């Protein structure tokens, strides 16, 4: 299957500081993939590299079956079949809702009949038909967001990029708007990359989830897998729901204060040998145990072993 998005060894530095570091990412058609990370982790920079607003220093980016960076020359943003919903929506203030949607289509040379057909579909899907002649200043914040999404629907991109679309909403409105955005993405069979720093938001919208730190993807998997089996202490801490307890791993045992816990021992049954990232037995080293209310797991050299 051709990937909707293919990134290989993508790197971007600014002033000698790496923003994106040898990053790999594959997204399948019709997937919704959040990029979850803290401020400065490289989420928005990666979106800009995918959209073509900034060029990587090296690496390969392909959208569908077309290499947009890493070939003979970079493909410009307007020819990448990618649309982006910015945090501030980026609407033309002097144009009506319909004018904002039609502007890009007219620049691409589409016929008036085709433009009208696309506008009707996009406005109907976002429930904006009654507002087609209004200026952005006459709309609420939620309606302006729908205009930004409708503009993407009208252009029919191969990939849609969301840059923290709920960041300026009150908490009470986020659930409703998030559900509305997700319903539109699903109904239109779109592929989406969704940047957020909110764990709840990421878990709610994702097919697969990428946790990013310092320009690198720490873990990329289904959200339930990441929550239940975080690959390292950073992912466990960032996802939340864990209580770190410092201790020492020695000869297959984990020592907390004056007590020992066998990493491979269940409450009943025979002990199992704990394994680290390389599949070997846990060695003598300082480690942390991460526990959830319903279970506990020992993180050894980047691998999680059940204690429950």
Q: Where are the domains of the chain?
A: 29-47+76-225, 245-306
Angle at which helix 141-155 crosses helix 97-107, to 10 degrees, equals 30
35: tokens are 């990029």
pLDDT of residue 223: 92
pLDDT of residue 185: 87
Token pair 């908490």: residue: 171
Q: Count other C-beta atoms under 10 Å from residue 220's C-beta.
A: 19
pLDDT of residue 216: 95
The hierarchical CATH code for the domain 29-47+76-225 is 3.40.50.300
pTM reported for the whole predicted model? 0.77
Query: For the chain, what is the largest distance between any 2 Cα atoms, rounded to a whole number of angstroms?
Result: 77
Alpha-carbon distance of 256 to 238, in angstroms, equals 23
pLDDT of residue 141: 82
pLDDT of residue 247: 76
How far is the CA of 105 from the CAs of 111, 126, 148, 220, 265, in angstroms?
9, 18, 14, 35, 63
Number of residues assigned to the chain: 308
Low-confidence ranges of the chain (pLDDT < 50): 266-285, 300-308
């Amino acid at each position: 299957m051709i990937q909707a998005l293919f990134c290989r060894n993508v790197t971007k530095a600014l002033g000698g500081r790496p923003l994106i570091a040898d990053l790999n990412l594959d997204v399948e058609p019709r997937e919704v993939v959040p990029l979850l990370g803290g401020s400065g982790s490289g989420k928005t920079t990666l979106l800009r590299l995918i959209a073509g607003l900034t060029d990587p220093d090296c690496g390969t980016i392909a959208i569908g079956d077309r290499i947009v960076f890493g070939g003979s020359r970079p493909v410009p943003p307007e020819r990448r079949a990618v649309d982006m919903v910015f945090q501030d929506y980026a609407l033309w203030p002097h144009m009506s809702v319909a004018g904002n949607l039609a502007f890009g289509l007219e620049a691409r040379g589409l016929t008036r009949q085709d433009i009208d057909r696309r506008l009707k579909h996009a406005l109907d899907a976002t429930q904006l038909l009654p507002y087609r002649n209004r200026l952005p200043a006459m709309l609420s914040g939620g309606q302006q967001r729908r205009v930004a999404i409708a503009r993407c629907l009208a252009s029919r991109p191969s990939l849609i990029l969301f840059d923290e679309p709920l960041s300026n909403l009150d908490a009470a409105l986020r659930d409703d708007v998030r559900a509305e955005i997700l319903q539109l993405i699903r109904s239109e069979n779109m592929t989406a990359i969704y940047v957020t720093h909110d764990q709840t938001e990421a878990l709610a919208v994702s097919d697969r989830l990428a946790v990013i730190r310092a320009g690198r993807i720490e873990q990329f998997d289904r959200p339930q897998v990441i929550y239940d089996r975080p690959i390292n202490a950073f992912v466990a801490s960032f996802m939340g729901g864990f209580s770190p307890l410092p201790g020492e791993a020695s000869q297959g045992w984990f020592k907390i204060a004056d007590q020992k816990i066998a990493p491979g021992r269940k409450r009943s049954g025979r002990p199992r040998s704990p394994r680290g990232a390389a599949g070997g037995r846990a060695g003598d080293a300082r480690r942390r145990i991460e526990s959830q209310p319903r279970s506990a797991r020992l993180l050894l050299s980047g691998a999680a072993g059940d204690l429950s």
